[in-house]
């Protein structure tokens, strides 16, 4: 298992290999994750949580996830109009 993980992460660099991104799922919902180049993170669109990638390794521990506040930003823009 360690050899497989090492091989998958070997060429990850700043992003993830396509194979690894197809395997990984959200630890909370078990739904697919989307890679975001801008924040170098994996996004769970189902619950709006971003999981960071540090040193090419996805941090999928639930406490490492960060809630995406795009909905809050949109609501503030609507109130300002």
Helix (H, G, I), strand (E, B) or coil at 41: strand
Give the pTM: 0.65
% of the chain at pLDDT higher than 70: 63
pLDDT tens digits, 41-70:
999 999 999 999 998 889 999 999 999 986
Q: Which CATH architecture group holds 18-67? A: Single Sheet (2.20)
User: What are the domain boundaries of the chain?
Assistant: 18-67
% of the chain at pLDDT higher than 90: 42
Q: What angle do CA 26, 29, 20 make, to 5 degrees?
A: 25
Q: Is the pLDDT of residue 79 over 60?
A: no
State the pLDDT confidence band at 10, using cuts at 50, 70 and 90: very low
State the pLDDT confidence band at 71, using cuts at 50, 70 and 90: low
């Amino acid at each position: 298992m360690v050899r497989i993980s090492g091989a998958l992460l070997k060429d990850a660099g700043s992003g993830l290999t396509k194979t690894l991104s197809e395997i990984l799922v959200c630890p909370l919902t078990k739904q697919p994750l989307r890679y975001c180049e801008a924040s170098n993170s994996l996004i769970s669109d189902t619950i709006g949580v971003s999981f960071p990638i540090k040193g090419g390794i996805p941090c999928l521990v639930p406490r490492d996830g960060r809630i995406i506040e795009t909905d809050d930003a949109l609501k503030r823009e609507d109130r300002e109009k």
